[in-house]
Structure 1
Amino acid sequence: MAAKIVVLGEVNGRLQPVFTKLASLHAKNSFSFAIAVGNLFADDNEAVTELLEGKLTIPLPTYFTVGQNALPPRIVEKIEKDEEICHNLHYLGKRSTTKTSEGIRIVALGGQLDETIIGGLSKEQHLPFHTVGDAKALQGAHEADILLTALWPSFIRKGSKVSLPEGLIDVTGQDHISDLCASLRPRYHFSSSPEFFFEREPFFHPPTTEAPDNRPLTRFISLAAHGNPLKQKALYAFSLQTSVDPTAPLPAGATASPFLSRPNPKKRPALDLEPYSRYGTHDSNGGYNKRGRGRRGERAPPPGPDSCFFCLSNPNLETHLISSIGDDAYLTIAKGPLTTSETNAVHDIDFPAHALIIPLTHAPTLSSITEEDDSKIKTYSEMNKFKDALQKMIAEKSNNSLGAVTYEISKGNGVHVHWQLLPMPVDIIRKGLVEAGFRVEAENRLFPSFEVRDPRIGDNEGDFFRVWIWTPPADEASVGSTNCLIMPFDHSIRFDLQFGRIVLAKLLGLTDRTQWRECSQTEEEEKKDIEAFKAAFKKYDFTL
């Protein structure tokens, strides 16, 4: 089954003539829905009044997002109040994933990039600005039929023979839009270029390990604005099958993805071309060989980025828990936190403060991260920056009555390495009870003994559990101190992934909260916690 779709170039407030023309086309073609790219509105003018008063008819379901100009205040007010502007006109949101009644999946990222004043995920859906973090979060949609962006992707004209109209300047693209397109591999990617129409040759993406014979195809199209002086194309109609035929031959003139030619990109797309290659090697028959685990033999590859709890490419990732996204790692509060808003209230911290520091790269250990562009070194460095910033926040907010404990489980057959950090009363740390707690629990479980050392990134340590115990400064002249313990273990040890949480729960008197699944919160409670956390961390957040 096919959906007939019509896409509108920038309308810029010319609502009456554009929708009158659309009504005429719709009467002849019976479109399923329409999409408006770029700026639908201009000023808060008479056209807006006519729309809000019901004097202007939208002939069919029409979707739009914010362009590079702000939405009129009355339109924003209407969206916030009623969630519907008028019959058949639907605001997608600035950062959104929408599935239409026909089953077409639309991913939208409106606005222009603002790196100077906004970091992480933007909090509102109406201003015409977004962050790189917004684009990274949308990679969690995993796939899209239609990608809608206000900005062009960088290098989109690389390898193309389509020329621009004479005398017009090329559009500057953005790397984070290229990364988004490369990750989602949409069937159509629409944008706007007010002065001209541009349709690139279709390009195919590299196959994945999961689908080695499938080369998803993308068509990038940028429409001119309505009423443009060169009379460039401002409408584009097409039919889109609701399902994809992976065996269909590539169309004539199709090229390889232009994004593969970008020189030294800072970050690879969230969906790696060989998502499991970091866990071991593939044999000559396409099988999977386990890395250095002796008698345990072969095993199936672990979950890929699209089903990993910690990957931004997981469509089920709960992005409302994310606080900050850096270049190589991100910070989030814990799902089902061990501590609660009451735990640290006596120390003037009114939120759980149980945080996770997670690499953007999908890898089971820090050592297994690709060597490309010193990725493992940069990832480890940024994770430590997050750890140091969190420790400083906890100490200053608690007037040095709280230190912090951070722990890591590094296993070659793991899924996605991460650090968990929790506040810890300073008297418990200074009495040596934290170190003793970990040593005693390990002894009770017949685990190997802890060693006092901190291995360097890249050292071939094998599997290990590591914990950093940080004592806040005793006075303004000092910076605090860290004691690091490491427990190496091998395949003969059945290591409990809840080990770190179990020890800290006993130390804090929270043994009834040992299992995170039994500490679930409502989404409203989680949002309240993340807002309090972000407000406290803002002063220390180097990503802003």
Structure 2
Amino acid sequence: MDATAKILVVGDVRGRFKQLFSRVEQVNKKAGPFEILCCVGDFFGADKQNEELIAYKNGFKHITVPTYILGPNKEEDKKFFANLVEGEVCTNLTYLGKRGVYTLTSGVKIAYLSGIEAAGSVGGEHEFTKADVQAVRNSCLVSKNCATDYRGVDVLLTSQWPYALLEKENEKASKLISFLCREIKPRYHFCAINGTYFECPPFRIPKDETTQFELCTRFISLADVGNLEKSKYIYALSLKPVDKARLLDLVQKTTNEIPCPFIGLDMGGTFSKNETSESRQYFFDMDSSGNRKRRGDGRNQDKRPRIMQIDQDDCWFCLSSPKVEKHLIIAIGERFYMALAKGPINSHHVLILSTKHMPCTAQLSTEEWEELDKFKAALKKLFKTLGQVVCFTERHYKSPHLTIDVMAFEEGYSWKIKHSFEDKAEEFNLEFETVPVLTSPQMLPEMGPYFVAELPDESTLITRQMKHFPLHFARDVFCSENLLNCDEKVNWKDCLLERDEEVANVEEFRKIFAPFDFTDDD
């Protein structure tokens, strides 16, 4: 399969939806098909200007290329991003979220950061902070596990300009974005909101602790859609993913390169040396003892985009719902409970679920995350006494309630688990990122669906490539020939037990879990 991806990027739309999507349809017919359309800058306009979107929401008009937008850049625009279900504005139009890394089916990696730089350490919904920049940087760098073969990312999307590219733009530019660009080394960096088309000569970012290669970045600012000067507002790219590209193509120099504008940039004390790629300690904030700090302190949790709630009376997993099967419950904490899986693969196949209705772990507060960690730690200790290791998976896709699937394997199978995930991923044409052990909800995608697997070797596999994602993917892996070798148990409906069997399994698990059950503590 050809790994080359065709991508479109546009600048500020500001409510000119009909003009944009008509133009995109023409370009797609002539030079496509394009895999994705990315919008940087202000997508929505004044209230009346946004009426053009109604036809697309009602299905009278169609968006031909899957379109992804960044978040608000002004306080008054945040209302347009409220109450989105998994980021969807309408069919084929999705809000990416505040920050993160999105991997296309082709393998192309797109890093993104919404909004403008906040004045302090706590920003509004239309602002980003140092913590947001660190989160994006970490997501890009951790997959290489501190090795020196990092090749950068394919595309960086921001609305605000980086500082130091043009003197006249510096007043409205961001040093944090300059820092991010220098750290993650994108092949292309797109931005907008200044109403200017500007394509900078390519510049090469020197090698550092993350890479032995001097990688090249091309910066492009796009004008407004439909601007009177007819400046360029749409840009087409054809890219082979950076991880699959020839190394020669990445390092080969061109004649018109300029010095990197971000080298020697004074960050005004924003970042210390051990937070940059000049030191190997760039993945996490560290306290004086060298322990990883949790970034979520609960103060900003309410600023996350909210997911539309489903009636709890209809949810199988809400403790308050009449549909919950209480005979499956093993232990109940303040914020989470543990239950036998319905249609279990074996008698030790259990689930960790939130007591209240919420969609995913990415939306947990610090207190909720800490209790979830307690359940995971207790289960690890239990299975260790049985000579087993444990794998935790979460599918935030077509699953309205937060559910962690827990499966244990003999210790000798530990090394096979990651290989089994990779084999199945290849079979289903999925791309996974490898990141370190999860220490905070901020390490998970803020908006939109994802699948994550926490492995016994303290690495984590994650993908946001969820279109047509196989709902039984985790069970496909667990039941594969390399692990439990029971393909007949892939579908949970084929594994349903009689109520008496379920009750017996719950009682047995309660007994073996009792020495580790922190929920009984007074």
> Larger C-alpha radius of gyration, 1 or 2?
1
Q: Which has the higher contact order (CA 8 A, sep 6+)?
A: 2
